[in-house]
Chain A
Amino acid sequence: MRVLIPGIAGLLARKVAQRLLGGGHEVIGIDPRGWPGAPKEIELHAIDIRKRAAGEVFRKRRPHAVVHMATISALTADAEERYRINLGGTRAVFEYCAAHGVEQLVFVGRHTYYGAGPDAPLYHTESEPPQELGSYPELADLVAADLYAANALWRLPALQTAVLRICYTLGPSGHGTLASFLRGRFVPMVLGFDPLFQFIHEDDAADAIVAALSSKLRGIFNVAGPQPLPLGLIAREAGRRALPFPEALLAVLLGRAGLPRLSRGALAHIKYPIVVDASLFRRETGFAHRFDELVTVQTFADGFPAGGRSSPVPPLG
C-alpha cells in the first residue's frame, strides 16, 4: 500500500512512517520542516500541505491511504497560524483525497477535543460533544479540524475515514504536550486539585495509528493506553517535585521562574481530568498497549532525568 503522511517530521509521525516501512508499505511524506536522516526509502516533500505542490504529489503519486498528522497545538504559533495549519491544512488534505482517489484516511486528533471541566464525566465516549471551549479558545482550531474531519464520514462516503482522538503521548523522546509539561524539575499544580492524566507510550501510540490503518477503520475512535494516573503521582514517578500554587498565583507565575508556560484557559486542564473510553477502538482493531502506566512514565524519566530546564510548552491540547 502507498501511504502518504502529511506532517511526517513530527516524532510520532516518524514512528508511524518507520512502522509502515517495516511492514512493507511505500511511504511518502509531506512536511516543510524536513526530516534529516530519514530512511532513504521514504519519499519526502518539504512543502506546505496547503500549497499547490502538495496537491501535485497526490495527483502524481496516487496514494492509497493518508495518515494526516499535520496539526499543531503549539502556543508559540499564533492563533492565525494555528487556524491556517489545523483547519486550512485539514481541509486541503480532504480535498486532495477526494480529488485523487484516496481510499482511506486516518485523521490523528487529540483527546483534549472533549475539554476539561468540573461537570465533565470521566471516560468520554465518542458520541460526546466538545465542552468548555469558551474557557479555552486556543483549542477551537483543533476541535474545528476534528469536526471537519468527522463530517467527511457522510460528505465523502467513498473515503474510508477514521478520526482518532489520541490521549497524551509520553516516552523517552520527551516529545509531546505532557512530556513538555513534565520536563522541568518542578511540576506546577493548582493547589487542591490533582486531576487524572491519561497517556500512552509513544511507541504504543504509533502502533495504534498503524492498527487503525491496517484495520481499515471507519468512524470516530478514542485511543488510549493504560489506566490514567493523578498528575501528582506522575510527577513523583518521574522524579519531579509537584509544586502546588493557589490558582490565581499560578496564573501569574506560569512561564516565569522556570515554570512551563501555559495559557490561562489551559489551567482547567491541570484542575480537571480528560479521560476517554477507548474500548471501541480496542474492540475494532484488537489493539493492546505494551507499556503500562508506570513503565511509560519511567521511560520518560530515564530519557529526561529531573533537573533539566522546562521549556515553553504547547497548551494542553
Chain B
Amino acid sequence: MPGDEISARVERLELPFDARGVDGYGTSRWHLGVAFRALSFLYRTYFQVRCQGLEHIPVRGRAMLVGNHSGGIALDAAMVIAACFLELDPPRLAQGMAEKFINRFPFASTWTSRCGQLTGLPEHAQRLLEDDRLLMVFPEGARGTAKLWKDRFSLVEFGTGFLRLAQKTKSPIVPFAFLGGGDAIPTVGNLYKIGKLVGVPYLPVTPWLLPLPRPAKLSIHFGEPMRFDGDGNADDESTARAVGQVKERIGQLIERGRQ
C-alpha cells in the first residue's frame, strides 16, 4: 500500500489529536504513519494475512478485542492492529496492553507509547474503554506467547480481569482467533534465566535459534460480539464461568480457522 494511502488512513483515525497530531495518551500521528508503513508490508506482503469477520468490530465506540496468543513474540498483536487499521473503514486503532518490561527499554518505551500501546495496567484498560477506544486483550498473558510449537492451537489459562472490566465499562467483547503465529515463529523452547538477565520474561528459541518470523500464512478470525451483564464485582465462580464462555468461543474460532 503506497505511503500516501497510509497517511490518508492515519488522517482518518477518529482520535482526538491536537494541532500537532498528538492525543492525550501521547499517541502520535507521525509515529503511527511510520509504524503502519512497516506493518502494512508485513501484513500484506510478508505474511499475506487473511481476515474474517471484520464486520463484528464496531465501527465506533468502546469494544474489547479478546483473542489467543500465537507465536513466541507479539506478532499476533501487531497483525491485529494492522488489520483494524488497514481493513476497517474508517480505520481504527486497536490499543493493546504492552508487557510491563517494554517500558523499561529505550526506544521501545517511546514507540509503544506514541503508537497508542500503553503499559498493561488495569487503569489504562479502563480509561481507554471509557474513552470509547478499541482495546485489544490477550487474556493468556505472557504464558500465551511462551506456548511451544506443539501447543500452538491450545489455550492456556485465561485471566479474569478483562471480563470484569468488560462488565464494568459495559463494553462488548469481540472474540478472535489468531492462527499461524506458531508456524511463523515455531518456538521449540524458552530460555527463562537468560531472559531474566536481559530484562524480559523469557527468550524464545526457534529451530534457527533467533525468534525471527518466517513468512508463514497468518489468519485472524473475528467472532460475533459477546455481552456480559454485571458491574464487574461478581463472585469468582460466576466470573470464571463467563470467562470460560469467551475461551470456548475463541477455541471454536481456532478450530474453524484450522479447517
- A interface vs B, CB < 8 Å? 118-119, 121-123, 190-194, 196, 227-230, 233, 237, 247, 271-273, 292-294
> From B102, which residue of chain A is reached at the shortest CB distance?
A118
Contact call A193/B109, Cβ cutoff below 8 A: yes
> From A194, which residue of chain B is reached at the shortest CB distance?
B110
Would you call B28 an interface residue if the criterion is a C-beta within 8 Å of the partner chain's C-beta atoms?
Answer: yes
Contact with A along B211-247 (1 / 0, CB 8 A): 0000000000000000000000000000000000000
Q: How far is the CB of A200 from chain B (nearest CB, A)?
A: 14
A312 to B128: give the CA distance in the assembly, Å.
38
Partner of B118, one of A122, A227, A271: A122
Partner of B110, one of A118, A121, A192: A192
A192 to B105: give the CA distance in the assembly, Å.
8
Contact call B119/A193, Cβ cutoff below 8 A: no
A39 to B127: give the CA distance in the assembly, Å.
45
| Chain A residues within 8 Å of B106, by CB | 190-193, 247
A230 to B111: give the CA distance in the assembly, Å.
12
> From A236, which residue of chain B is reached at the shortest CB distance?
B20
| Chain A residues within 8 Å of B113, by CB | 194, 196
Contact call B28/A230, Cβ cutoff below 8 A: yes
Name the interface residues of B1-56: CB closer than 8 Å to any CB of A.
Answer: 18-20, 22-26, 28
Would you call B92 an interface residue if the criterion is a C-beta within 8 Å of the partner chain's C-beta atoms?
Answer: no
Interface of B is mostly: mixed
> From A117, which residue of chain B is reached at the shortest CB distance?
B103
Partner of B119, one of A118, A123, A190, A229: A118
| Chain A residues within 8 Å of B103, by CB | 118-119, 272
A122 to B23: give the CA distance in the assembly, Å.
13
Contact call B24/A192, Cβ cutoff below 8 A: no
Contact call A230/B114, Cβ cutoff below 8 A: yes
Would you call B107 an interface residue if the criterion is a C-beta within 8 Å of the partner chain's C-beta atoms?
Answer: yes
Q: How far is the CB of A242 from chain B (nearest CB, A)?
A: 12
| Chain B residues within 8 Å of A233, by CB | 20, 22
Partner of A192, one of B28, B100, B107, B127: B107
Q: How far is the CB of A304 from chain B (nearest CB, A)?
A: 20
Would you call B104 an interface residue if the criterion is a C-beta within 8 Å of the partner chain's C-beta atoms?
Answer: yes
A119 to B105: give the CA distance in the assembly, Å.
12
| Chain B residues within 8 Å of A272, by CB | 103, 109
Contact call B127/A123, Cβ cutoff below 8 A: yes
A194 to B107: give the CA distance in the assembly, Å.
9
A273 to B118: give the CA distance in the assembly, Å.
12
Would you call B170 an interface residue if the criterion is a C-beta within 8 Å of the partner chain's C-beta atoms?
Answer: no
Contact call B18/A122, Cβ cutoff below 8 A: no
| Chain A residues within 8 Å of B110, by CB | 192-194
A272 to B121: give the CA distance in the assembly, Å.
15
> From A227, which residue of chain B is reached at the shortest CB distance?
B24
| Chain A residues within 8 Å of B28, by CB | 230
A292 to B103: give the CA distance in the assembly, Å.
28
| Chain B residues within 8 Å of A191, by CB | 106
| Chain B residues within 8 Å of A293, by CB | 18
A sample of 29 cross-chain residue pairs with beta-carbon separation below 8 angstroms, ordered by A number, consists of: A118-B100, A118-B104, A118-B109, A119-B100, A119-B103, A121-B119, A121-B121, A122-B118, A122-B123, A122-B127, A192-B106, A192-B108, A192-B109, A192-B110, A193-B109, A194-B114, A196-B113, A227-B23, A228-B24, A230-B22, A230-B26, A233-B20, A247-B106, A272-B103, A272-B109, A273-B26, A292-B18, A294-B18, A294-B19
